[in-house]
Amino acid sequence: MHTIIKAMVTSLLTSKALRSKYLSPASYHHAINSNLKAVVIGATSGIGQGCAHCLAEQGYTVLAIGRPRPGRAEQIVEELTAKSKSSAAVLGGVEVPVPAHEFYATDAFSLQQVHQTAQEILSKHPTIDVLVITQGMATTQGFTPTKEGNDEKMTLHYFSRIAIANALLPALLNSSAESEQNSDSDSDRMKKGPVVMSILSGGIHAPYENYQQDFSLEKNYSVRNAADAAGFYNDLGLDYMACKKGNEKINFVHSSPGFVNTNWGSEFGTVLRCMVRMMQPLGKSPGDCAEYMLGPTVFASEAGHDLPERLVGNKGLFVMGEKGQSKSLTKMHTDEAKAFVWEKTVEVLKKAGIDIE
């Protein structure tokens, strides 16, 4: 018990230190004056909401994406505006501008809807600097197809993540975030510039060994396989995008958040959900988690501080742990696996009416 309490206190102190390090009048003004914009999908709850609030406090315009619910759009925009206003009041004194946040209603079980939302965002916002992806669910259900025929959990944890990242590429490539030049493109450290971060299980999942025989998990579905497949495919799919010619400027990150006190598990049955809820106060808050995810990457980049390094090779994906530390890819992360998973991903998106290369 003593060790757990000590870990909780250390975690709290470290995240607070990151906050005071990166939230300053200069950083807020920089974000406002440079019109920095962040898309957060999964922004209605938990880690996504924590990240959206943190970015709003930092002066980013947040384009929040989440499931439609009555009154939700107004509520989310109000909350984000309140976060920006409180920062502006503390940091800037009088008449400091506040960004105009937006909400886009989207059910991420539909890849087509995710794609259309991205097109709507692109039509209004030619530049985007940060994309945070957190939509997810925790169930013990078996393979459960969406209307497009893919498993629900795999859709939230992988396919919709690639769909949004791929569709927003044109705006991410236009990012106004200061980006380092080609001389540094072979560095093993993250470059300054736009960030795409998928928050799921970077560095902590095992590879899904049946990916060639049963890519969609229709035959080998289990909670474990679905978790490993989603994590493994995030590594491979995002790494494919990171290594693709033309995308060098963008930093692609697959991170794991650690144990966070959120609504995670609300789809579980009563007994399992009660067990999760009893343990959750031991987890970190979504706000602290957001500090650990955005502090060492997005905010450190703006402040010119040391950025995460890749543990394997000097190209491609960054894998990050719950405190922003670098983590490794799995032993099955090969060029062949990457090409195979990407080809299958392209097929799945094509079936949903989305053309990607």
Which of 19, 157, 191, 249 touches ligand NAP by CB under 6 A?
A: 157
Contact yes or no for 149/353 (Cβ under 8 A): no
Task: Considering only the stretches 8-16, 85-93, 193-201, 347-355, report the one whose residues sit in contact with ligand NAP under the rule CB under 6 A.
Answer: 193-201
Query: Least separation, in Å, of the C-beta of 48 and ligand NAP?
Result: 5
Distance (Å, rounded) from C-alpha 282 to C-alpha 260? 8
- Is 156 among the residues that bind ligand NAP (CB under 6 A)? yes
- Is 64 among the residues that bind ligand NAP (CB under 6 A)? no
Residue with Cβ nearer ligand NAP (106 or 301):
106
Distance (Å, rounded) from C-alpha 357 to C-alpha 355? 7
Pull the structure tokens for residue 215.
């890519």
- Is 198 among the residues that bind ligand NAP (CB under 6 A)? no
Largest CA distance in the chain: 62
- Is 166 among the residues that bind ligand NAP (CB under 6 A)? no
Residue with Cβ nearer ligand NAP (44 or 58):
44
Residue with Cβ nearer ligand NAP (96 or 162):
162
Residue with Cβ nearer ligand NAP (11 or 175):
11
The backbone torsions φ and ψ at residue 189, rounded to the nearest 5 degrees and listed phi first, read -95, 150
Task: Considering only the stretches 118-126, 174-182, 196-204, 217-225, report the one whose residues sit in contact with ligand NAP under the rule CB under 6 A.
Answer: 196-204
Distance (Å, rounded) from C-alpha 324 to C-alpha 295? 8
Which of 36, 37, 46, 316 touches ligand NAP by CB under 6 A?
A: 46
Residue with Cβ nearer ligand NAP (50 or 193):
50
- Is 259 among the residues that bind ligand NAP (CB under 6 A)? yes
- Is 107 among the residues that bind ligand NAP (CB under 6 A)? yes
Please give the single-letter amino acid code of residue 211. Y
Which of 80, 163, 200, 226 touches ligand NAP by CB under 6 A?
A: 200
- B/e letters for 8-22, b = 16+ CB within 10 Å, e = fewer, are eeebeebbeebbeeb
Distance (Å, rounded) from C-alpha 106 to C-alpha 108? 6
Pull the structure tokens for residue 13.
């102190």
Size of the site for ligand NAP (CB under 6 A): 28
Distance (Å, rounded) from C-alpha 149 to C-alpha 145? 5
- Is 117 among the residues that bind ligand NAP (CB under 6 A)? no
Query: Least separation, in Å, of the C-beta of 305 and ligand NAP?
Result: 25
- Is 136 among the residues that bind ligand NAP (CB under 6 A)? yes
Beta bridge partners of 133: 41, 198
Which of 194, 257, 308, 321 touches ligand NAP by CB under 6 A?
A: 257
- Is 128 among the residues that bind ligand NAP (CB under 6 A)? no
Beta bridge partners of 356: none
Question: Residue 137's closest CA among 114, 153, 151?
Answer: 153
Residue with Cβ nearer ligand NAP (199 or 241):
199
Question: Residue 294's closest CA among 324, 317, 249?
Answer: 324
User: Which alpha helices (DSSP H) does the chain contain, by range?
Assistant: 2-22, 25-33, 46-57, 72-92, 111-124, 152-154, 160-167, 169-173, 223-243, 270-279, 286-294, 300-303, 335-351
Which chain residues interact with ligand NAP by CB under 6 A?
A: 42, 44-48, 66-67, 107-109, 134-137, 156-157, 199-201, 257, 259-260, 262-264, 266, 283
